[in-house]
Chain A
Amino acid sequence: MRCAILPALLLLLAGGAAHAVQPDEVLPDAGLEARARTLSADLRCLVCRNESIDDSDADLARDLRLLVRERLLAGDSDAQVISYIVARYGEYVLLRPTTGGSNLILWLAGPGLLLAGLGVALATLRRRGPEAAPLSDADQARLDEILRS
């Protein structure tokens, strides 16, 4: 099970034995298997810490991986597989939070902050204004002359 990287003192989780996807889980159909891997990367291993079922070696993660593949073999679309699993395990299982309801704040925070920051920066710049008007042609010519001499 993978765990914290930084101040690694926190690691108490059981070892780094990364097994994740086992050879016997792999579907013979490469297209379905690729879809299963993509879906797995977005689903959380419920007993792990911030780890997808694709990376986890926990038994529960294996069960979920098999469930995903089972649904795919049954002909579900990607969205159907996800809603099947969310219906059973709740929103917590999604590593990519939905964009519904209060989560909109989460998704829009970045762009919103950027726009707000740009607004403040532009307003400040404009209020302060350029320190001097650009040189007139005559002044520029005089300056060039001085610089050349």
Chain B
Amino acid sequence: MIVELGHFALVLALAVALVQMVLPMWGAARGHAGLMAVGDAAAGVQFLLLATAFAVLTQAFVGSDFSLALVSANSHTDKPLIYKISGVWGNHEGSLLLWTMILALFGACAAWFGGNLPAPLRARVLSVQGAIGVAFLLFMLLTSNPFLRLADPPMNGADLNPLLQDPGLAFHPPFLYLGYVGLSMSFSFAVAALIEGRVDATWARWVRPWTLAAWVFLTIGIALGSWWAYYELGWGGFWFWDPVENASLMPWLFAAALVHSAIVVEKRESLKAWTILLAILAFGFSLIGTFIVRSGVITSVHAFANDPERGVFILLILAVFLGGALVLFAMRAGSLEGKGAFAMVSRESALVANNLLLAVSALVVFIGTIWPLLAEMVWGRVLSVGPPFFNAAFTPFFVGLAVILPVGAMLPWKRAEIGRGLRQVRLIAMLAFAVGALVFAVQTGRSALGPIGAALGVWVVVGALADLWLRTGRGAVAGRLVRLGRLPRADWGKATAHAGLGVTVFAVAAITAWVTEDIRVVPVGGAYDLGPYRVTLAGVEETRVDNYQTTRATMVVTRAGREVAVLYPEKRFYPVAEMPTTEAAIDLGVMRDLYLVIGDRQDDGSWAVRSYIKPFANWIWGGALLMALGGTLSLSDRRYRIAAGARKPALQPAE
């Protein structure tokens, strides 16, 4: 009965979304305040209805209601409560419901906090947001209904994929969706601005924080996924250039570009058309990502949602929204001429270069991802595009980005002198070069990746700190320190996020260049050397825990006779899903992770063991966290709190 209530709420949400799509747009065109105001109410109601549907589905998972097809296919009574809850979005239908609910939440936020937006703009934004809602609700109800009942309920469920029964992964999808869907806000604002034919600083002051928030969520979501891969997949890889990963990287890159170009619109009223295009593309690539992930076209025969009907439907949504917005853009972009001109050497130009590099790197990822499909369709070539291609084709753009970052961040607006800019960063460049040379000398004979990564990392991190320091003006150090504390949070956010990027760039280079790997067979009680450490396989035991069986090794790591850690790598087997998983044991460290994996038992009773020393592993996600923290700091800046918090009465249209 309650399940039917959820189903009903879903259908009702579709009706409300239809109203939200049509009436406010009509009202804005006719200048009718009443019709425009319908959008606010509809956005709130739509969110409440979808939240109800989501709560109902969650309740069905928690209560193990196996009469629901979705619950019986993705849950089990033995599963711990947290994974019953995360099971709600651990499948296609449930995750789509979460997606749509978040979409409605963003719409509702525009209604709740958009009091200071001009009424016609808010109405149009809500209308576009409603249109996206209509598309996804139709998609859900027609092809992927989460509330379908089974005529013949089973006694127990088929269990959630064991790989997903992990805290890192339980919260990875919600963050990712908050990011993907958050970009719908920027999209709606872009389309609304194109319809109105007007983009100004007020517009940018709204779009930027929402994009920044979406970008922060995406950053956290991607970092969680990468971290999970690192500890769960058993060999310490952190990024695989899988189509599904690329699907999240492309919107992240476009969102990063959008955050930067929106600054130019806000501060200088320039780059308007380009910013609108980026806003369209950022959400467009979210949709493309959704298509890649859920249609299974590119992810090959093994993919889960390999359903042509769903693929075609998403393609249709993509065509309507991305195609429609781009057509609108082509028609209206000419009228968005910017006001502020700028010279060839200026902060604006540096941000254009930043945008260019981010956009091109995103397109490289896109082309690499769809190339196998394209090559097969057009030239009949069956081929693969894997990590070696992406490493070679993507990395140069990111290196370029890191190289220009500190210089660009310090250039003044409008017009700068290249000589002065270079003088400011000369010391940092020398320091970065010295560190690179030092690393090169210490690590003799290894790849150039390590020194280059170290130099780039120092360059970006010290550059970010120097940028902050230069903002304190001149004078005595004490006075500047005081002023440092009083700098706006946006400045701190900028420096933190930039430094985070430097940390991640360094860590990726370091772990790739300096990893130590050891593969061998060890008898129980045997010991072997791993770099400066000595590892002893003290014992192996088999037990049953909760909903899985486990083979657990006890391994003692010592260094110069002193015990460093006792680690318990596991091999698990989940009987319900009939699936084995590897649980690597990791001793986390600031400078290195020790990463131990137990393999198969050999015929003579000894065990295959893989061990790694992963230098600076945690810095990868530490850098990502710094980026997210920087974004959050910037969001908490006073200007935005005032912009979002002040609920001035909405301006009524004059006519």
B245 at the interface (CB under 8 A from A): yes
Known: A52-B387, A97-B383, A121-B356. A11 touches B235 (CB 8 A): no
- Chain B residue nearest to A107 (CB atoms) is B393
Contact A15 B352 (CB under 8 A): no
Q: Which among A5, A10, A96, A114 is the interface contact of B304 at CB below 8 angstroms? A: A10
Q: Mark A16-56, 1 if CB is under 8 A from B, else 0.
A: 11111111101000000000000001101000111110010
Residues of chain B within 8 A (CB-CB) of A12 are: 161, 302-304
B83 at the interface (CB under 8 A from A): no
CB distance from A107 to the nearest CB of B (A): 7
Known: A96-B392, A130-B343. A10 touches B299 (CB 8 A): yes
CB distance from A88 to the nearest CB of B (A): 14
A103 at the interface (CB under 8 A from B): yes
B580 at the interface (CB under 8 A from A): yes
- Chain A residue nearest to B338 (CB atoms) is A128
Q: How far is the CA of A66 from the CA of B554 in the complex (A)?
A: 31
A143 at the interface (CB under 8 A from B): no
Contact A95 B378 (CB under 8 A): no
Q: How far is the CA of A16 from the CA of B302 in the complex (A)?
A: 15
CB distance from B163 to the nearest CB of A (A): 5
Contact A94 B302 (CB under 8 A): no
Residues of chain A within 8 A (CB-CB) of B229 are: 2, 5
Contact B341 A3 (CB under 8 A): no
Q: Which among A10, A15, A24, A49 is the interface contact of B305 at CB below 8 angstroms? A: A10
- Chain B residue nearest to A122 (CB atoms) is B344
B363 at the interface (CB under 8 A from A): yes
A75 at the interface (CB under 8 A from B): no
Contact A9 B89 (CB under 8 A): yes
**Within B376-396, which residues are at the interface with A (CB < 8 Å)?**
378-379, 381-389, 392-394, 396
Q: Which of A16, A109, A110 has the most CB of B within 10 A?
A: A16
Q: Which among B244, B364, B387 is the interface contact of A5 at CB below 8 angstroms? A: B244
Q: Which among A7, A20, A50, A106 is the interface contact of B235 at CB below 8 angstroms? A: A20
Q: How far is the CA of A91 from the CA of B385 in the complex (A)?
A: 10
Residues of chain B within 8 A (CB-CB) of A9 are: 89-92, 95, 164, 173, 304-305
Contact A50 B243 (CB under 8 A): yes
Contact B234 A18 (CB under 8 A): yes
Contact A18 B164 (CB under 8 A): no
**Within A86-118, which residues are at the interface with B (CB < 8 Å)?**
90-97, 101-103, 106-107, 109-110, 113-114, 117-118
B232 at the interface (CB under 8 A from A): yes
Q: Which residues of A pack against B, CB within 8 Å?
A: 2-24, 26, 41-42, 44, 48-52, 55, 90-97, 101-103, 106-107, 109-110, 113-114, 117-118, 121, 125, 128-131
